[in-house]
Amino acid sequence: MREQRKIKPQHTQPDRAAILLVSKKGSVETVAACCGRAASDGVAIGMTLAHARSLLKEPDTRIYEFTPNADAEKLRSLARWALRFSPCVGPDYPDGLLLDITGCEQLFHGEKNHLETIAASFDTLNIPARLASAPTVGSAWAVARYGASRITFVSKVQDALSPLPVSALRLSEGTCNALDEVEITRIGQLFALPKTQLAIRFGDQLLKRIDQATGVRRERIETIQIKTWPRVSRAFDGPVQRYDIVENVVEKLLSELTRKLTPQGKGVRCLHVQLQRVRLAPENLTLTLSYPSRNKKHLWSLLQPRLERAHLGFGVEAVTLSALQSESLSHDQLEIWNGVSGADGNAAALGALLDRLIQRLGQNSVSKIEPVETHVPENAFVSAAVEVRHGKSRKVKSMHKTGINTTRRPSRLFDFPQPIKVMALVPDGPPAWMKWRGQEFRILISQGPERIACPWWDESRNKERDYYEVQTNRGQWLWVYRDSESGNWFVHGEWA
């Protein structure tokens, strides 16, 4: 690493108003950060807001909430934006950026023009920045913050650091105070002292920072990571207007993409196809799946109908396939076992079925049954619509009641319990005769009761029900219950 640069974003001040960032702890508001105008009036970090107001000479003061997490995310976004100036950029929390510009000056016609371009670009964002180019991270950090000029080029590190205050070495407040007690205020004074005495008196941190600034100890930049997607592309010699040629190329690229994902143990969740067209905007096709897949046959069956409806315009010059989202997918020996087995295989088969149904019928037209943790029979299952967005399957509950097909539950559950008249041999006993839908039935077999309690917070339902499985003289098996509060009887379902 030959050169490092430190960028310190600052807020612009279009008027004379002072700017304070305030954090609140309990009922006390303290200054977490302030602008240069407020600092020149004596405002310091940590003092109360009332004290800061009394020191400000300007009557107008802009006060904002201090949000360190949001600021850190903005700084990371700024670091991604700064990748246009260097391939190695890292956020320097809370208010700076570090860039390794080794070799980049050739692309900007010299180092001076490189830094001036960066400064001008930050000005367009309304973020004035102080820049320093130096052989080490520590020296660039110090000169950018404490140097006399907005843009500084450092060649001799010790000469550039000597007049700067000791705080420019990124020391803790306690170390700075300890140095101040012995009247050491400038970095040059530290260079004149033996390192062994400095370590004994002020600890190892001071020596570490001096060595980092002078280049004795290397310091690595924690660079921002940019996510890249598996991608394959093919360019034609000239514009192609034949669908069969475009389809053939897309199919071959799909095979290449799935082969690229196999060693990574990944499957496609969101597939993007871009057709570069002559004198027209690119044609973009996005395919989302309910389950990760790298099965080329399945992916092609979903992609081909979309590709047939694509508009080729005056011809396609290039084709690009990208896996915008991928997820881990276990390896299956399909060629040996001639099928898919296990939990992952069942999930993959279900995902392929859902993908085909959604492709043909639409996302909102496909639903499936989902169980619900409740004792209330009519709410034990719901119809869940399968909706795929950005590669994720989302289940949306609906109000449609469905039949229940579990142990000791009827295969058909009525939308609403149907009232019946019942005669029992003993009070509160099982029914022996019933009248339902205008017809009379004798009960041959009765099993129960099974008491089901409804939620106490649901006032719309009766609290307790006693359910019986009964067989009528006509061969029907019905699920009936007696309401414990009213004593009324109802048919709730039947076994078909």
Instruction: Tell me the DSSP string of 295-328.
Output: -HHHHHHHHHHHHHT---TT-EEEEEEEEEEEEE
What are the b/e assignments for 409-425, b being 16+ CB within 10 Å?
Answer: bbeebbeebeebebebe
Q: Which residues pair with 199 in a beta bridge?
A: none
Give the pLDDT band of residue 458 (cuts 50, 70, 90): low
Q: Which of 344, 330, 325 is nearest to 389 (CA)?
A: 325
Residue pointed to by tokens 């871009």: 274
What's residue 332's pLDDT?
56
pLDDT tens digits, 46-56: 899 999 988 88
Q: Which domains does the chain have, with CATH numbers?
A: 1-17+60-226 (3.30.70.270), 233-342 (3.30.1490.100), 412-495 (no CATH)
- Three-state DSSP state, 259: helix
- Percent pLDDT > 70 in the chain is 83
Q: Quote the pLDDT of residue 363.
A: 64
Whether 399 has a pLDDT exceeding 80, the answer reads no
User: Do residues 420 and 480 lie in contact, with contact meaning Cβ atoms separated by under 8 Å?
Assistant: yes
The strand order across the sheet containing 231-240 reads 231-240, 316-328, 266-277, 283-293
C-alpha to C-alpha distance for 415 and 410, rounded to whole angstroms: 13
- pLDDT at residue number 386: 62
pLDDT tens digit string along 132-177? 999 999 999 999 999 999 999 999 999 999 999 999 999 998 999 9
In the prediction, which pLDDT does 223 show? Answer: 87
Stretch (H or E) spanning 164:
none
Residue range 283-326, pLDDT digits in tens = 999 888 877 888 888 889 888 888 988 999 999 999 999 998 88
Contacts of 257 (CB under 8 A, 6+ apart): 230, 231, 232, 268, 321, 323
Nearest-angstrom CA–CA distance, 57 and 230 = 58
Total-model pTM: 0.51
Flag the least confident range among 181-190, 218-227, 487-496: 218-227
E strand or H helix that includes residue 277 = strand 266-277
DSSP 70-139: HHHHHHHHHHHHGGGT-SEEEEETTTEEEEE-TTGGGGGTSHHHHHHHHHHHHHHTT--EEEEEESSHHH
Range of weakest confidence among 174-178, 219-223, 387-391, 450-454: 387-391
pLDDT digits (tens, 9 = 90+) for 188-204: 999 999 888 888 888 88
pLDDT digits over 345-374, tens only?
A: 555 666 667 777 776 666 666 766 777 777
